[in-house]
């Protein structure tokens, strides 16, 4: 198993966990409205962290010229 495949698998696992978490949160929100604000903030933070990790791995695994142009912006 290559490193790229491993990274893709972990990203898919994270996405599945986020989906399951969001479904559970939506179910809880229907039962208790006061939880909704806190849980939505947590969910947004988790999605943002997932996006940051994807960008980091893309940046880390890319070639040097891409990294240099990325830094110039």
Q: What is the pLDDT of residue 69?
A: 52
Q: How far apart are CA 45 and CA 48, in angstroms?
A: 5
Q: Is the pTM of this model over 0.75?
A: no
| Tens digit of each residue's pLDDT (9 = 90 or more) over 43-68 | 788 777 777 777 777 766 665 555 55
Three-state SS for 69?
Answer: helix
pLDDT over 70 percentage in the chain: 49
Residue 43 near residue 25, CB atoms below 8 Å: yes
Q: What is the pLDDT of residue 34?
A: 62
| Tens digit of each residue's pLDDT (9 = 90 or more) over 6-31 | 666 677 777 777 778 778 777 776 76
């Amino acid at each position: 198993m290559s490193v790229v495949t491993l990274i893709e698998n972990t990203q898919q696992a994270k996405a599945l966990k986020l989906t399951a978490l969001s479904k559970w949160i939506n179910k809880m929100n229907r039962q208790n409205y006061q939880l909704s604000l806190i849980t939505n903030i947590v969910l947004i933070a988790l999605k943002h962290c997932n996006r940051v990790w994807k960008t980091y791995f893309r940046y880390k695994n890319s070639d040097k010229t891409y990294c240099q142009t990325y830094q110039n912006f």
